Structure 1
Amino acid sequence: MAEAFICHAFDNCGPAIQEFPSFFAETHYQEITSNTNTPFQEAFKRFNNLQHVMTALESTDWTVGFSHFEKEACAIIQPPQESRRPSLVDVGGGHGHQCIQLIKKYPNLSGWLTLQDLPQAVDQLPKIDGVETMVHDIFQTQIVKGKSYIYTQHNCPSILPSSADMKINTQGAKFYYLRRILHDYPDAQGIKILKNLRAVMAHDSQILIDEMVLPGTNVPWQATLADLSLMVSMGGKERSKEQWEAAC
């Protein structure tokens, strides 16, 4: 893992940072708004180094902050049916770092998790027991959509006070999880990612955004370095609370 960190920092990020001064001079020091026009956008095809770094950063500590997810996860006691509604979709889940850790922490989630990413990631994945994998581009329409059900007086009289039927939208997963995804992109592209999820959400679906939140002052140097690396390589950025609220 140490080797992957070194390769990622020096071989992937290093050339981009070296081009930083000339790039911004040419663009008149404007904020980067496209991840295809950056000092270093091709990433030199060193995709595996990035994935090894993400594996080293795997953690389920985020579940403590998302108490509503932890409550739902602990409540699942039965195995999923074929027509089940996914409990959590790990959007852009890479090599499955988080799904693997989730099943270790909550074995009852086996079969209830879905991992999505581009074919470059999914095709390299070993089989992860209890996790469904699918190829998906986050800039396209979300493919986990579920179903809608009709409740009638005949089969559900307790929830229908009148003779009218009621359509309940169970479209979409219970949770859509984005870990270190949105910081890779400028605001406009991040908003597009969120809109694609919103379009398929049910009335009780939730989007879990697992990202760094920068303080207003005295930002730690590690966070500043991450912000700079994201900007020069992908046009992304770490965001403050105010920036997250504006983007979301």
Structure 2
Amino acid sequence: MEPAQDDIAAATIILDQTVGIYRTAALAVAARAGVADHLDRPRTAAELADMTGMDAASLRRVLRMLASQGIFREDAQGLYHLTPAAVLLRSDASPSLRSAVIMFSEDYMWRSAGHLGDAVREGSSAFEQLYGKPFFEWLGTDPEAASTFHASMVGLSETGIEKVIDAYDFPATGTVVDVGGGRGSLLRAILERNRRLKGVLQDDRSALREHVLDTPQTAERWRLEEGSFFDTVPVGGDVYILKHIIHNWGDEQATAILRNCRSAMKTDARVLIIDPVLPDPGTPHFGWALDLVMLSTLTGKERTRQEFEKILNAAGLRIGTVFPVRTLGEYSIIEAVAA
């Protein structure tokens, strides 16, 4: 007896999820080989194989699968074209997600994902179980991995910056403090959009060394402050930004960071957390998958609004408004004020 149509549809969902790892692997093959960099014009799989040192027949199988997902476009002549998605895989794109794809396919990420069951069983990071130390501590011992990771964070951070600025009404004057702000791409864009604002970029020495704040539009309106947000944050800011920071940490560490912001801020200042806000159960959202990245690799997690309220209240803050941002990963801006 043939299975009912509903049973086939249900089985298709399960099998599609089961083989999803191969879509990720194929994307990583294309990113590592730099396929998109060679598509200055439409090319065949054989041409691309010659240019990237791949086997032509095997590369074609990878590319046609990616074309079925809208990453590349394959025409009737067997030529492959760039799509808007493929452009993001070019190393010269701005922003580029090539390094992010490579980072997520590094051996330590595959191993951590493969041991997700251990993280669920033990309630602790699979990465730390495998490598014997927390992710960021380990990253400091591997310069090559650190370089790829930081490049991936640049690409992810710079994707949709203008959408973030569009979503929030920054004050006309005052000081914006970007806590753990990396190279300062977001802070630079804020200062360029708001010509009377000043800015402070706080991060470690290696990040500040590569800052991008020094432009004609931001001249004499910014400064750098080296330090750890676990120790202190710059005092006297009007707006404190924590972009892609809080979700990296568990509740205890996240509360400590927020408490430092509360101690440093003016009475009427704002703290902006830019992270996913998990929706009602069962609602499709990028944050659900990202939460499992945090579970397997770091000690952090994605949070619901109620979970954000809990850590904010513990730090002497409360949620004012939540602003959805139409950008990569379905992020929101959580505006917090003094409780």
TM-score (norm 2): 0.53
Percent of aligned positions with the same letter in both sequences? 22
Mapped to 2, the partners of 1:235 and 1:119 lie a distance apart of 23
Mapped to 2, the partners of 1:242 and 1:24 lie a distance apart of 22
Give matches, 1:14-53, under 5 Å: 14-25=110-121, 27=122, 30=123, 32=124, 37=128, 41=135, 42-43=138-139, 44-45=145-146, 46-53=148-155
The structure whose residues are more often helix, as a share, is: 2
Aligned mate of 1:7, from 87, 91, 102: 102
Mapped to 1, the partners of 2:126 and 2:258 lie a distance apart of 17
Mapped to 2, the partners of 1:228 and 1:173 lie a distance apart of 34
Deviation, 1:124, is 2.5
- Structure number with the bigger relative contact order (C-alpha 8 A, sep ≥ 6) is 1
Mapped to 1, the partners of 2:290 and 2:300 lie a distance apart of 10
Moved >6 Å (runs of 4+): none
Deviation, 1:97, is 1.7
Match of 1:224, SS state, is helix
- Aligned amino acid, residue 113 of structure 2: I
Whether 1:140 aligns to 2:231 is: yes
Mapped to 1, the partners of 2:160 and 2:277 lie a distance apart of 18
Deviation, 1:205, is 1.8
Match of 2:176 in 1: 88
Residues 204, 192 of structure 1: CA spacing in aligned structure 2 closer, same or farther, 3 A cutoff? same
Match of 2:189 in 1: 101
- Aligned amino acid, residue 17 of structure 1: A
| Aligned residues: CA RMSD | 2.5
Deviation, 1:115, is 0.7
Deviation, 1:58, is 4.3
TM-score (norm 1): 0.71
Residues 64, 16 of structure 1: CA spacing in aligned structure 2 closer, same or farther, 3 A cutoff? same
Q: Deviations over 1:156-182 (max 9, x none)?
A: xxxxxxxxxxxxxxxx11111111110
- Aligned amino acid, residue 155 of structure 2: V
Match of 2:105, SS state, is helix
Mapped to 1, the partners of 2:158 and 2:266 lie a distance apart of 33
Whether 1:233 aligns to 2:297 is: yes
Match of 1:169 in 2: none
Whether 1:202 aligns to 2:266 is: yes
Mapped to 2, the partners of 1:222 and 1:123 lie a distance apart of 32
Match of 1:119 in 2: 205
Mapped to 1, the partners of 2:119 and 2:127 lie a distance apart of 13
Q: Deviations over 1:198-243 (max 9, x none)?
A: 1122222221112211112223252222111122221111111111
Mapped to 1, the partners of 2:238 and 2:211 lie a distance apart of 24
Residues 39, 58 of structure 1: CA spacing in aligned structure 2 closer, same or farther, 3 A cutoff? farther
Match of 1:151 in 2: none
**For structure 1, which runs of at least 5 residues remain unmatched after alignment?**
77-85, 146-171
Whether 1:54 aligns to 2:156 is: yes
Number of residue pairs matched?
200
**For structure 2, which runs of at least 5 residues remain unmatched after alignment?**
1-95, 140-144, 313-339
- Aligned amino acid, residue 181 of structure 1: I
